[in-house]
Amino acid sequence: MATITTLIPAYKKDYLGETFLGLQRQTHRDFRVIVSDDSPGDEISALIHSGHFGAVLKGLDVQVLRGPKNARLNHRALVDHWQGRSPYVHLLMDDDLIYPGFYSAHLAAHATGRYSASVSRRWYSHLDTRPVHGVDLPDFVARSPLQVVPVEADAMFTSMVPHCHNWMGEFSNMLISAEGMAHWPKPPADGLNYFGWVDVGFLLSAVQHAPIAVLRDHLGVFRQHPEQTTHKMHPHGGIVSNLAWVTYALQAWKEQRISHAQAVAAISFMVMHCLKLFGEDGPVVNRFYDLVQTQGGNLERLYQAYTPFWLDLLRRHPSTLPDGAQLSTPAQSPAAPAAPAHATAAITYV
């Protein structure tokens, strides 16, 4: 069994070669790669099968799956396929790049204690992957004398949720333990949980069971470009991802992880953010504004009114539908693509 399973929810072919190159150059070699192809027409599968990526796949154990043709479901399908078959998991986005020492440094961090996940710093870049800027760390991390800083639940909640600010990062700069993966949030059938914004929700769920190890080294690049998934979210996905911060604020307040004032600050910030992002043209966001306006004077009333609104929103699309639930509005699932004909070398198609 490999120490690490690298899960790549693939949609964009243009940068995948550099993603593979970052894996090929890892100093720690005990890992296997599973690619879930969500690209139009399964073009990524065809490119891998044809040898398009050439030498960058040399020495890599790669398995290719057919994707569900939805970004959020693609993450979940990979996690479900993994089924605990390695001690650690790395969800690597198809346009990001990790440095050669990424796995070695993260495994060394995990060796220092019991962690749900380790998170290293990442550079932001444009298309050429040259670092442009990073993300500022909160004072309790920035001023720590430790190279690997354990972050407990209280510190994470109070440093992220009130400001609706993900200073930790994306899945590409995390190495998740099997124990941490057991707390991957799923759409709730009732009540609120930390489902919504995939990486943030995972961190807030997992840290409640074991700390997160923050590595102060920059060990990868988060590529910024117009085609990245966060710029291409369909209306439902965009609304769910952004309103997730409101869900987290209300649930964290209910669990007494943040104060009343901190919850109010987060909700107020997201009202203004949604007005800028979505305006007042959609019935879903308008319902959210109405809830805040009519119930926002009392957080308990807002919590009680917001919960059925959130649950109904999740039931409006297959990508956020709870297990066993029915869609609250009609929706069509995309047809499954045809499977590739056969495999070559160390590449397996499923």
Residues 293 and 178 in one domain: no
Neighbours of 66 (CB within 10 A): 18
For residue 67, is it within any domain?
A: yes
Q: Tokens 């909700």 map to which residue?
A: 267
Residues 6+ apart with CB under 8 A from 265: 162, 163
According to the model, what pLDDT value does residue 224 have?
A: 66
Residues 6+ apart with CB under 8 A from 114: 179, 210, 211
For residue 104, is it within any domain?
A: yes
DSSP 174: E
For residue 335, is it within any domain?
A: no
For residue 13, is it within any domain?
A: yes
Residues 216 and 290 in one domain: no
Residues 117 and 15 in one domain: yes
Tell me which residue range forms the domain holding 279: 235-314
Residues 98 and 172 in one domain: yes
CA distance 24 to 235: 37
Span 1-19, average pLDDT: 93
Residues 102 and 213 in one domain: yes
Span 172-201, average pLDDT: 96
CATH number reported for the structural domain that contains residue 170 in this entry: 3.90.550.10
- Residue of 329, 344, 350 lying closest to 52 (CA atoms): 344
**Model confidence at 137: pLDDT above 90:** yes
40-44, 235-239, 304-308: range with lowest mean pLDDT: 235-239
Residues 86 and 117 in one domain: yes
pLDDT in tens, 314-344: 999 999 999 989 998 644 433 333 333 333 3
Residues 167 and 282 in one domain: no
For the entire predicted model, the pTM comes to 0.90
